[in-house]
Chain A
């Protein structure tokens, strides 16, 4: 099995990595709004933690696709 995995090109591995980040991102953005804002003093857009998660994961996707 390891031998067959060795034949996977690094370009494909990058895509696997990007898919991993995308799965986490999809999971994060599908969290209920009430759950995300629970305990927040207001519901302004900058307090939407789903946006925080998307930004930080997009940076990762960029880095892993570039390098």
Chain B
């Protein structure tokens, strides 16, 4: 339970975020304002919003616990498992999505390949994002119950009202701006823990001296192949080469901020600035996990208790409130982004594509707002199921089912003009089937991702070689090799994107 001052800080944070989010309602007049912030986001807002979205409550609690258990190898998910992919995303994928003038990643696939490919991707991501919403709502309820003593349902409903209201009101602009504030709070909290922790363990040297004798592998990033969770081969081939690019190049909630950039340069710089911030993310949870290992002499029964132990035993009054505000910030920033992205996919790729093609812009804006409310009303009652049936883990597995195939499909779509609509469909479907079959054999998900990626590439190429490609003029602006050397095409594309094509 938090002290009165801590409680005041937490409530002030929630009220402040609510007010800031609602303030941005006045900037939303069209559906483009709602879904893409009027294509007016600058690079630093994009970068901070991407990282705010990326850090969730599980990163804090589960990440600190993993760092307590295995050490800095957990940082692989932030470093080799993110940074190279973010550089590639910034310099290849993001500019092509932006120039295509699309609202969603499936919409790009529809233009590049075909409607079936777009629809399959939209349904996979649309369902996944809604399930994630339920998980995040449950996490918020559990967290608020643990630290504030409110019931889980009170916590969930407060979260739903606050996040739902500003997401409905301000759309992506409100989501991005609140993400910025939330990330600042997270970083300030992380730096505060680092300062206090290093003071208690006598600096970096003291931390190593306290941990390394009993845990010699805790300061190694690459662990041996026989490590069940962090084998170096899986880290490089599964995580760095497939799962990470799939996340940073194809995830709608990540990419959507860059689609709202005011220029192609801002879109690219936004993703690269996020890579700089990503380098700092282990400060938030890897270091606290190590501090607890060094300072908690009795040991922990459950390693996921590492961060709560740190908050309870290491932090002074006032700072505990700030750290808890950072936890809430992590949950809120994940919920608002997931909500907005889910609504964008279901509105653009399903509703507008299949049910209402030629309605007024006002209609799509209102539909987006109502759909936001509906998704909250669906996700909140489903939240307890995510706890009872271990859905979080199931969703991680589900994500590995289609990430490898998605990456292969988009990669060939952008890099190889010869890839055909049938090739894209075959690669996507057979890659997903391959993932499901390999997972059933009990293979580590890092290796599943790699092999499903390889299978999707092979079938995409094979089927493409025997089927008819799209005419070159239909691929202009969608495929890397076709536009790089043509200045006229580049200029025309920029004009088209700026016009919101």
Q: A and B: real partners?
A: yes
The reply to whether B265 and A57 contact each other, CB–CB distance below 8 Å, is no
| Neighbour of A24 across the interface among B79, B88, B95, B225, CB < 8 A | B88
Determine whether A2 belongs to the interface, using a CB cutoff of 8 Å to chain B.
yes
Q: How far, in angstroms, from A21 to B275 measured CA to CA in the complex?
A: 14
* Partner pick for A13 among B222, B264, B273, B279, CB 8 A cutoff: B222
Establish whether residues B490 and A38, one from each chain, have CB atoms under 8 Å apart when the complex forms. Answer: yes
CB atoms of B225 and A2 under 8 A apart? yes
Most A CB within 10 A of own CB, among B83, B87, B232, B484: B87
Residue A10, interface by CB 8 Å: yes
Pairwise interchain contact B87-A28, C-beta atoms closer than 8 A: yes
Least CB distance from B337 to A in Å reads: 23
Q: Is the Cβ of A57 less than 8 Å from the Cβ of B83?
A: yes
Tell me, in angstroms, the Cα distance from A41 to B240 when the chains sit together. 33
If A28-B87, A35-B484 touch, does A67 touch B220 (CB 8 Å cutoff)? yes
B500 at the interface (CB under 8 A from A): no
What's the dominant secondary structure at chain A's contact region? helix
Among B219, B276, B494, contact of A52 (Cβ-Cβ < 8 Å): B276
Give the chain A neighbours of B88 by CB distance below 8 A. 24, 27
Judge whether B236 is part of the interface by a CB distance below 8 angstroms.
yes
**Within B332-382, which residues are at the interface with A (CB < 8 Å)?**
none
A52 touches B84 (CB 8 A): no
Q: Is the CB of A17 within 8 A of B80?
A: yes
Would A63 and B79 count as touching, CB distance under 8 A? yes
Flag if B84 contacts A24 (CB, 8 Å).
Answer: yes
Partner of B222, one of A2, A17, A34, A55: A17
Query: A45 at interface (Cβ–Cβ under 8 A)?
Result: no
CA distance A55 to B487 in the complex (A): 29
Q: Please report the total number of A residues contacting B with Cβ < 8 Å.
A: 35
B221 within 8 A of A: yes
Distance to closest chain A CB from B257 (angstroms): 16
Given A13-B222, A17-B236, A24-B84: A40 in contact with B263 (beta carbons within 8 A): yes
B91, A31: Cβ atoms closer than 8 Å: yes
Q: Which among B265, B273, B276 has the greatest number of chain A C-beta atoms within 10 A?
A: B265
Asked if A38 and B83 sit within 8 Å, CB to CB, the answer is no
Would you call A10 and B232 a contact (CB within 8 A)?
A: yes
Contacts of A57 in B (CB 8 A): 83-84, 87
Pair B265/A20 contact, Cβ less than 8 Å: no
Contact A10 B87 (CB under 8 A): no
Asked whether A10 lies within 8 Å of B224 as measured between CB atoms, the reply is: yes
Given contacts A10-B224, A38-B95, A49-B90, contact A21 B84 (CB under 8 A): yes
Interface string of A27-67 (1 = CB under 8 A from B): 11001101111111100000101001101110110011001
Q: Is B226's beta carbon under 8 Å from chain A?
A: yes
B87/A38 in contact, CB under 8 A:
no
Whose C-beta in chain B lies nearest to the C-beta of A10?
B222
Q: Give the distance in Å from the alpha carbon of A27 to the alpha carbon of B92 in the complex.
A: 11
Is there a chain A Cβ closer than 8 Å to B304's Cβ? no
Q: For A28, what are the chain B residues with a Cβ–Cβ distance below 8 Å?
A: 87, 91
Interface presence of B72 (CB below 8 A): yes
In contact, A67 and B84 (Cβ under 8 angstroms): no
A64 touches B87 (CB 8 A): no
List A contacts of B494 (CB < 8 A). 38-39
> Which residue from chain B places its CB closest to the CB of A3 in the assembled complex?
B225
In the complex where A40-B265, A49-B272 touch, is A6 in contact with B91 (Cβ < 8 A)?
no
Shortest CB distance A49–B (Å): 6
Q: Decide: A56 and B275 in contact? CB cutoff 8 A.
A: yes
Determine the chain B residues whose CB is within 8 A of the CB of A56 once the complex forms: 83, 87, 272, 275-276, 279
B328 within 8 A of A: no
Instruction: Give Cα A52–Cα B206 distance, bound, in whole angstroms.
Output: 33
Q: Which residues from A are CB-within-8-Å of B179?
A: none
24 residue pairs of the A-B complex, CB under 8 angstroms, read A2-B225, A13-B232, A16-B236, A24-B87, A32-B484, A35-B95, A37-B265, A38-B95, A38-B265, A39-B263, A39-B266, A39-B267, A40-B263, A49-B90, A49-B91, A52-B272, A53-B87, A56-B272, A56-B276, A56-B279, A59-B279, A60-B80, A60-B83, A67-B72
User: Chain B interface (Cβ within 8 Å of chain A)?
Assistant: 72, 79-80, 83-84, 87-88, 90-91, 95, 219-222, 224-226, 232-233, 236, 240, 263-269, 272-273, 275-276, 279, 484, 487, 490, 494
Known: A36-B91, A37-B265, A49-B268. 5 other contacts (CB 8 A): A6-B226, A39-B265, A56-B87, A57-B84, A64-B80
Give me the 10 closest cross-chain CB pairs, A-B, nearest first. A39-B263, A39-B264, A39-B265, A40-B265, A24-B84, A67-B221, A52-B272, A13-B222, A6-B225, A56-B275
Chain A positions near chain B (C-beta within 8 angstroms) = 2, 5-6, 10, 13-14, 16-17, 20-21, 24, 27-28, 31-32, 34-41, 47, 49, 52-53, 55-57, 59-60, 63-64, 67
